Structure 1
Amino acid sequence: MQIKIIEVGPRDGLQSEKTFIATAQKVRLIDSLFGAGIRSVEATSFVSLTAVPQMADAADVLQQISRPEGSVVSVLAPNVRGARDAIRAGADELVAFVSASATHNRKNLNRSVADSLINIEAVAELASQSGTPLRAAVSTVFGCPFEGDVDVGSVVAIVQTLSRIGIRQVTLADTTGMATPAVVRAVCAGVRNAVPEAMLSLHFHNTRGLGLVNVAAGLELEIDVYESSIGGVGGCPFAPGATGNVCTEDLVHYLHEEGHSTGIDLDSLVRSAWLLEETLGRPLPGQVMRAGKRLRLYDAGAAPSATAR
């Protein structure tokens, strides 16, 4: 199966960094991701700089990155003002978002779910007028750190509203890593049965070590679009316990080993992970960047041997 990877590291991965990362370093990272063969990158966000100061250079990033043929540069735009600024700065695609959990939506967007959907409809109207594609992400669909399990009916109702607005591409997001394969199957089945026209993608976190296991569940359902973050960085700043996203290079390694195609060069991708680690100045949680591919071989003569007794 051909799998599409949406790289969210430059936005979702960096948004919680307390030290501001220079624009040139962000641009270098995104360009390296494009160089590895990734063609869809969520590059930045046009949000409140008080809430997310790391994204203060959003317009500069969009203006300075390379744009390989066939690439799609998307940005998070939570409201009409952000969407207008993103379109003006040259975004190829907008991403609107809402939480399936009312409590998380209040924490993240400071409004009700119903008001968020009204807001998304206004963004959709602007996007349509400008000819800019719009997709949506629904957070906490597999569980909320404040409310626990989220009713599948609530998720379905949101996706139905998005469909009525005209948004067909919808990401179901595991905001704090509460998903399990059983929950993934139940939620995706519920959405597919009720809104068959929705084109689903999945976004998992590796909080409890189940990130790739949940991807496997998604593949069983023949879902072919996944969001991930280079080096495994990221986590929602408004959700307790939200550690890093599924790591892009680990995901690509797994997909290739399972016989799927991504169009991504894994060796180049690992170099992007090392670049990000150097930029952030701390070890990243990615595993393939350290262990290498499954068939990485070593010189037996250079390896230590057990001491005979």
Structure 2
Amino acid sequence: MALYKLISPNEYTSLLKSSTARIVSVDASWHMPNTGRSGSKEYFEGPRLPNSIFFDIDDVKDENSEFPHMLPTLSIFNKKLSELGLLPNDTLVIYDKIGNFASPRAAWTFTTMGHKGNVYLLNNYNDYVKLSKEDPKSYNLDYSSVNKITSLPKTQYVVQETFVKDQVLSFNDVKQLVDSGDIKNYNFFDARALPRFLGSAPEPRPGLTSGHIPGVQPLPFLSLLDPETKGFLPNKELKANILSFFKENGVEFDKEKPTLTMCGTGVTGCIIKTALEEADLVKSSKLYDGSWTEWATIFKNDPKYIIKAK
């Protein structure tokens, strides 16, 4: 099961009233480079949840990796969270302006790296905004402009135990599964849009081929979200959508097999990871952090490692 929990806008407002722990709202908005949007710019301009900080997945990352927003080392994680003014026991409520896009990745990062306090994923910001228009006192939003990503004083944030081994799949792990044929013993799903998975549409990153890893099957993340708000569908509907997609697209699924997920750069893979766990279809799963960008950069168009539909 996920190390973080989904929380509705109603549950979030109740938490603010009842919790004895310090609650910090975390804007983790991130946008693809081709959208022209900036998560930090929108955070600075507002609106945002009250008392929010901004968490940038392109800043809190492995600085030695050539691939985008790879999971940070423990020393980088501790350093960056100290600069944000967080404490290991803070209760965090993660959200993003799209609804659910980068926020599952951020929630996964906090819990995988061993944050000790409760971590909640708001499902979702757009629902909260709608409620705020109807009842601004109960669902408060901060419309002021700010010029820094946190108003909290610097701390000495330190955690030492992580869940990386339980949550993360490396490039070498995946290559070994492909080379040995053991990949058949796993449910392995790719969150990218079906045309990119099949190799019939280009990747958004220039020069990167499309296609998929042998033995990996598709599960496009957009099919699991409300088309308007981009919130996760209710659990029963979520489960039905997943199983329906599997049936309609000939995707094999065995609940008894361990499950792995991936995407373009390890962001939307966290969406399908969360969805599979929320729908109670898998007990736990791991994310291939480097995902397609790492795999396709290394193997380019090698037909042994990159499959395209004929």
Query: Do they superpose with TM above 0.5?
Result: no
Q: Quick check: which one's helix share is greater?
A: 1
- Normalised to the residue count of structure 2, the TM-score between the two structures is 0.26
Per the normalisation by structure 1, the TM-score is 0.27
